Structure 1
């Protein structure tokens, strides 16, 4: 009989994940399974596979794999893990610490009067602006409005930084249509100046401290939400004096809204929802 893996499908503002409690699992090739399980036609379908592991340095360890099997860091996934861990009894407190590839992150659950979880705030660490830390092959620091030539006759002004993972942010008068988005975004992701590839956040300043964005994630393509990307967009808006660090920044995407707080020199905080979709069992091929 084929082995089965128990999983829970969750999402944060439409950014969806397959979560597996791997603390007592056999040694699986999670990278290969991410490719298989995240496929939206032949698998479960998700923007990433998240594996929970034991660690001595936090309440638990979160390992996230993109649909192409590459390991990464994910802010929306972090909120999903926090809710999952509490509701499954893995952690019995509303403030918990979760290990990631970018370090240990703090998560705090917010409840309504009936005790229901309505939002989660996660610390996302300090943004990194050094080109070597992004990483990006440029000498400019910080990388603000860098003219990135995507193709002959096509240059985007890019603000690049790392919020645990590489992001390029471009502010435009209006969000791109499908033709432009699908033509340009993959070229930016794989641009030679980004040795580890990059996600691209197309952003519009809708109002003071209100951004809307369309998201291209490295290793995943278009997604409805991106927590690390929302943080990168908010930080970029502050750097460009498009938003005030004294007021929370609302970042809107196809899947919903996230609230980001950041002051220069401080850690980023992000608040948003995390929702359970369903549970299931995934059979492993023999």
Structure 2
């Protein structure tokens, strides 16, 4: 099926991936092989598969060649193409470092080509921070005013709930629940039902806002120089083409954005998003952009026998 090709298993807050190199773009995995590898019972298992390929070898990224050497070719576990993956791009940069395709020191940045355009990734002491670009609310001003623009049926809850669509640029729909007990009651093994149903599907985040906290601001010398407010939200996610996952980077951004919209103009610009696989940091930047930060862990190298 895949010959002697070696894959790296990695994860970002439990959102796990198989990564492999096809540097010159001459030997990509066939879709059926990709799906078989991602199968959790009959394959290695992963939420998605990422191919490391030079941007110059990818026709759809020809306009990004001057900005980025490497293109992140991301596929969901069912073989479908995704625009971007916030957890995946951190593991992708970690993979490039692990395989010697990239040398990046703490404090340095690299630019990666994706289907969502070129994105800048900064290496931090405990992971990576990704400038995710600008976000939009597809429902426009009416959705911003109402706080929702779709109705979502969730298994485990008695009635549909209002949801707000957010594009990061992956399509997301965020639903606020009243408490952690209700969050636990949702059965995300069953795909949520959206009305109206988006043509290209949607990831769905169910969230419980946990309010705001004051945290210390520390300079490079470790001296506390002040405090700032951060928001906190707990999230579960159903990813299109995958099902429930332990984390979703673009979904964490969407969750923070939607919660900030619901909280109003005085809401914090920085959010901690608690997911089943850990915690992510989301920061609102100028011009409607957003930054996502979190860990990336290399787990193993695997060479399938088939």
TM range (shorter): 0.7 to 0.9
Per-residue CA shift, 1:103-126, capped at 9, x if unaligned? 111101113xxxxxx211001110
Partner residue in 1 for 2:205 = 201
- Indicate which of 110, 125, 144 corresponds to 1:96: 110
**What is the distance in 2 between the residues matched to 1:210 and 1:182?**
22
Structural mapping, 1:188-267, within 5 Å: 188=193, 192-208=196-212, 209-241=231-263, 246-263=268-285, 265-267=287-289
**What is the distance in 1 between the residues matched to 2:278 and 2:303?**
28
Structural mapping, 1:270-281, within 5 Å: 270-281=292-303
Q: Is the 8 A contact 1:83 1:109 kept in 2?
A: no
Per-residue CA shift, 1:189-232, capped at 9, x if unaligned? x6552111111100001231100011111111010010000000
**What is the distance in 2 between the residues matched to 1:207 and 1:107?**
29
Quote how far apart the aligned CAs of 1:181 are.
2.1
Quote how far apart the aligned CAs of 1:66 are.
0.7
Q: Is the 8 A contact 1:16 1:46 kept in 2?
A: yes
**What is the distance in 1 between the residues matched to 2:123 and 2:172?**
27
Partner residue in 1 for 2:149 = 146
Partner residue in 1 for 2:123 = 109
Q: TM-score if structure 2 supplies the norm length?
A: 0.80
The unaligned stretches of length 5 or more in structure 1 are 112-117, 132-137
Structural mapping, 1:8-87, within 5 Å: 8-24=8-24, 26-55=26-55, 56=65, 57-72=67-82, 73-87=84-98
**What is the distance in 1 between the residues matched to 2:40 and 2:184?**
20
Quote how far apart the aligned CAs of 1:264 are.
6.6
Aligned-residue Cα RMSD (Å) equals 2.6
**What is the distance in 2 between the residues matched to 1:275 and 1:12?**
6
Quote how far apart the aligned CAs of 1:267 are.
1.3
- Select between 80-89 and 157-166 the one with higher mean Cα deviation: 80-89
Quote how far apart the aligned CAs of 1:156 are.
1.3
Quote how far apart the aligned CAs of 1:86 are.
2.2
The unaligned stretches of length 5 or more in structure 2 are 56-64, 213-230
Structural mapping, 1:125-164, within 5 Å: 125-131=133-139, 140-142=142-144, 144-148=147-151, 150=153, 154-164=159-169
Per-residue CA shift, 1:34-78, capped at 9, x if unaligned? 211110000000110011111124130001111111011210000
Per-residue CA shift, 1:112-170, capped at 9, x if unaligned? xxxxxx21100111002234xxxxxx99444732351539x732111111102100000
